[in-house]
Copies of this chain bind each other. A is one copy, B any other.
């Protein structure tokens, strides 16, 4: 098992990816490839005691920033860390790749370099969200702004496979995000997709609404990448506001004394809502496992994402997707 990590991507790069790699080399049964500026990564890695035989550093002189236009950047910066990592994955020089850098650059690298599984219309970004009933999947969380019903069906299939294989949920429920519960509610895409999901062999529970997302009504929440992106970022933004609010509550001296009494409660709640526990967002539909870690990932979050990548490989998600897409009625791939 070998996990390729973009050591230069993310708000806390290279320190967080390198620290997580050092820990993974010690605690997990996996080899790690760190892709990034050799001298910087070497220097960072020297801070940790770890089994160096399990960590390889591959040089990549360039970095793609969040502000760059992804397709152009991936095509021109051949020596960017994410591009080098994707090419290694494509050539089979690793079993999965992970980047905390530009989402657009990773999606583009996944699509153009790693490539789609035959029969998959569009790979989709699948994010695990905390909910009142545990981790649930939002797919597509932003890879495809414009979608068709055939794409959404495949999002449901790929998401169900991931939730079953990686999270161990038997027969995961699938909901279609809409602005009303009844069949026939929604935009054109919802109206077209509902009967397709209903006729499939997925465990489809019908339309779900915004309030169902954090309630955890469905294990797999299917939507187009525009709506999914807006939902994901709305939740992230609200998380910040709530988190700042909680900090404010405990800011005064008396309040700090109060905080001592409720530390456990706060800890439990924060843990439940902590994205770092949930690993990264898998890009589903590519030929080999590609995972997007959160841009603000600290070492703990990167470590979770590495564990997730290992499980992604170990549970044969890609092969299951291939089998399921193959067994579907042959459709024209556009």
Give residues in A with beta carbon < 8 Å to B.
131-132, 142, 145-146, 177-179, 186-188, 209-215, 225-227, 229-238, 240-242, 244-246, 248-252, 254-255, 257-262, 264-266, 268-269, 272-273
Q: How far is the CA of A266 from the CA of B188 in the complex (A)?
A: 43
Q: Contact: B238 with A209, CB < 8 Å?
A: no
Q: How far is the CA of A268 from the CA of B230 in the complex (A)?
A: 28
| Residues of the B chain whose Cβ atoms lie less than 8 Å from the Cβ of A241 | 131-132, 214-215
Q: Contact: A231 with B234, CB < 8 Å?
A: yes
| Residues of the B chain whose Cβ atoms lie less than 8 Å from the Cβ of A237 | 210-215
Task: Identify which of B142, B178, B215, B238 contacts A179 (C-beta below 8 A).
Answer: B142
| Residues of the B chain whose Cβ atoms lie less than 8 Å from the Cβ of A264 | 255
Given contacts A178-B230, A245-B272, A255-B264, 17 further A-B contacts (CB under 8 A): A132-B241, A132-B244, A145-B186, A179-B229, A179-B230, A210-B234, A211-B233, A211-B236, A211-B237, A213-B237, A227-B227, A245-B269, A245-B273, A249-B269, A255-B262, A258-B261, A261-B261
Q: How far is the CA of A215 from the CA of B243 in the complex (A)?
A: 12
Q: Contact: B240 with A213, CB < 8 Å?
A: no
Closest chain B CB from A235 CB (angstroms): 6
| Residues of the B chain whose Cβ atoms lie less than 8 Å from the Cβ of A235 | 210, 234, 238
Chain A interface mostly: helix
Closest chain B CB from A234 CB (angstroms): 4
Q: How far is the CA of A257 from the CA of B262 in the complex (A)?
A: 9
Closest chain B CB from A131 CB (angstroms): 7
A-B contact pairs, 19 of them (CB 8 A): A146-B188, A209-B229, A210-B229, A210-B237, A212-B237, A213-B237, A215-B237, A227-B227, A227-B230, A238-B238, A245-B272, A251-B265, A254-B262, A255-B261, A255-B262, A255-B265, A257-B261, A258-B258, A258-B261
Closest chain B CB from A12 CB (angstroms): 19
Name the residue on B nearest A245 (C-beta). Answer: B269
Q: Contact: B233 with A209, CB < 8 Å?
A: yes
| Residues of the B chain whose Cβ atoms lie less than 8 Å from the Cβ of A236 | 210-211
| Residues of the B chain whose Cβ atoms lie less than 8 Å from the Cβ of A273 | 242, 245
| Residues of the B chain whose Cβ atoms lie less than 8 Å from the Cβ of A254 | 261-262
Q: How far is the CA of A318 from the CA of B166 in the complex (A)?
A: 55
| Residues of the B chain whose Cβ atoms lie less than 8 Å from the Cβ of A146 | 187-188
Task: Identify which of B215, B232, B233, B266 contacts A249 (C-beta below 8 A).
Answer: B266
Q: How far is the CA of A178 from the CA of B234 in the complex (A)?
A: 11
Closest chain B CB from A277 CB (angstroms): 15
Q: Contact: A262 with B258, CB < 8 Å?
A: yes
Q: How far is the CA of A187 from the CA of B11 in the complex (A)?
A: 28
